[in-house]
């Protein structure tokens, strides 16, 4: 057996039973690939199932409101993925009459589809001989071949693609790409890879030189996490309504909903300042302001650490009813706000 035959045989005996592996429908493959771009498989599966059951056809996704897509996406993070899915579904419906484009050149032009996703859809749905390189393959190839090129240098991608293309199982490029990813994620794992039972260990560069953790090579990540102090105002109006607004700026959570927000440079701020800002939203009478959480709630994103405080303004217990809760829960919101709502209302169903 040559290298590729060994890989494919391992894959067919060991592959996990994942829902998107049972289809060649490009729409389903696209959804799964976008979900898995920044999400682990275990977390992604229930979202994939929800998505496919709510929007079984590209047309159904294109014809819904963006807000509904964001709501379904809630909790997955990187909401730009959901906005792009919706945008691109509308474009495919209009420009391609709902038929998913089947060439790499057309796929790569679609919003939210980069080289990896275009190659994954092209190979898995249309049997195109395209090498899709994800983090698992970067790691597996780097270790096995001893590749010292930095994987976050865009020029390296071409090198890895060529390498993979040369080894590709040309009769079945989709399964080949998935086999590589599966091997990287299940055997040649980032920590504690299963080298002893690895079918490639005899010729593995990193294993034989005892340098597994030297690969893959990366540039030093100099980007520091920034801290942001977010203060949300829970303003109750006379009619017991809680004020909400939509985030429209090009920032995290674009197009999601939130309570009125102001950001500060430090954690501690005076009640006076809160009152002043809250009064811009609503004419306050006999104001009663207090913090809901004494210590800020941490929410960690890839490059930001958010420290969140909720301020209750004129809270009247009558507000905490099922109907207000249900109204708020309809809106797509960052998960830190959704958690707040669940705890704030603390309703027994």
For residue 64, the minimal CB distance to ligand SF4 (Å) is 43
Q: How far apart are CA 180 and CA 164, in angstroms?
A: 9
Instruction: List 311's β-bridge partners, or say none.
Output: 233, 291
Site map (CB under 6 A) of ligand SF4, residues 265-284, x = contact: --------------------
Is 200 a residue that touches ligand SF4 (CB under 6 A)?
A: yes
Q: Residue 185 or 258: which CB sits closer to ligand SF4? A: 185
Instruction: List 228's β-bridge partners, or say none.
Output: 306
Of the listed pieces 197-205, 216-224, 232-240, 325-333, which binds ligand SF4 according to CB under 6 A? 197-205
Among 34, 131, 147, 198, binds ligand SF4 (CB under 6 A): 198
For residue 176, the minimal CB distance to ligand SF4 (Å) is 16
How far, CA to CA in Å, does 169 sit from each of 128, 129, 270, 347?
A: 11, 9, 65, 56
Of the listed pieces 36-44, 77-85, 195-203, 225-233, which binds ligand SF4 according to CB under 6 A? 195-203
Is 261 a residue that touches ligand SF4 (CB under 6 A)?
A: no
Q: Read off the DSSP letter of residue 20.
A: G
Is 141 a residue that touches ligand SF4 (CB under 6 A)?
A: no
Residues 6+ apart with CB under 8 A from 210: none
CB 160 within 8 A of CB 141: yes
Q: Residue 204 or 319: which CB sits closer to ligand SF4? A: 204
For residue 152, the minimal CB distance to ligand SF4 (Å) is 20
CB 264 within 8 A of CB 231: yes
Q: Residue 130 or 206: which CB sits closer to ligand SF4? A: 206
Among 193, 216, 260, 332, binds ligand SF4 (CB under 6 A): 193
Buried b (16+ CB within 10 A) or exposed e, 50-61: ebbeebeebeeb
Active-site annotation holds for 33: yes
Is 201 a residue that touches ligand SF4 (CB under 6 A)?
A: yes
For 135, the token pair is 């983090």
Buried b (16+ CB within 10 A) or exposed e, 126-138: bbbbbbbbbebbb
Site map (CB under 6 A) of ligand SF4, residues 210-249, x = contact: --x-------------------------------------
Q: How far apart are CA 3 and CA 1, in angstroms?
A: 7
Instruction: List 235's β-bridge partners, or say none.
Output: 313
Of the listed pieces 102-110, 201-209, 231-239, 284-292, which binds ligand SF4 according to CB under 6 A? 201-209
For 118, the token pair is 């275009």
Of 209, 196, 200, the closest CA to residue 141 belongs to: 200
Residues that bind ligand SF4 (CB under 6 A): 140, 143-144, 187-188, 193-195, 198, 200-201, 204, 206-207, 212
Provide the annotated active-site residues.
33
């Amino acid at each position: 057996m040559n290298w590729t035959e060994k890989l494919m045989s391992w894959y067919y005996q060991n592959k996990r039973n994942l829902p998107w592996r049972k289809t060649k429908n490009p729409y389903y493959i696209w959804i799964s690939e976008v979900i898995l771009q920044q999400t682990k498989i275990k977390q992604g599966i229930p979202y994939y199932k929800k998505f496919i059951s709510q929007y079984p056809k590209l047309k159904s996704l294109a014809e819904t409101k963006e807000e509904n897509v964001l709501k379904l996406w809630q909790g997955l993070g990187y909401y730009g993925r959901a906005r792009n899915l919706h945008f691109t579904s509308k474009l495919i419906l209009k420009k391609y009459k709902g038929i998913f484009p089947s060439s790499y050149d057309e796929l790569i032009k679609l919003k939210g589809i980069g080289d990896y996703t275009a190659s994954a859809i092209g190979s898995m749905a249309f049997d195109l001989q395209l090498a899709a390189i994800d983090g698992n393959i970067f790691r597996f190839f780097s270790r096995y071949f001893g590749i010292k090129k930095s994987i976050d240098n865009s020029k390296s991608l071409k090198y890895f693609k060529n390498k993979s293309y040369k080894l590709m199982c040309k009769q079945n490029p989709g399964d080949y790409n998935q086999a590589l990813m599966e091997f990287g994620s299940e055997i040649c794992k980032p920590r504690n890879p299963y080298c002893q039972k690895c079918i490639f260990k005899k010729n593995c560069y990193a294993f034989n030189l005892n340098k597994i953790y030297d690969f893959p090579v990366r540039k030093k990540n100099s980007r520091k996490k920034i801290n942001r102090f977010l203060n949300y105002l829970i303003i109750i109006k006379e009619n017991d309504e809680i004020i909400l607004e939509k985030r429209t700026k090009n920032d995290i959570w674009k197009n999601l909903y939130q309570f009125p927000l102001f950001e500060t440079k430090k954690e501690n701020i005076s009640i006076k300042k809160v009152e002043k800002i809250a009064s811009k939203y609503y004419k306050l009478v006999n104001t009663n302001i207090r913090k809901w959480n004494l210590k800020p709630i941490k929410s960690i994103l890839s490059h930001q650490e958010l420290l969140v405080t909720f301020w209750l303004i004129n809270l009247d217990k009558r507000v905490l009813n099922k109907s207000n809760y249900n109204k708020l829960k309809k809106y797509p919101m960052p998960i830190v706000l959704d958690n707040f709502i669940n705890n704030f209302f603390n309703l027994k169903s």
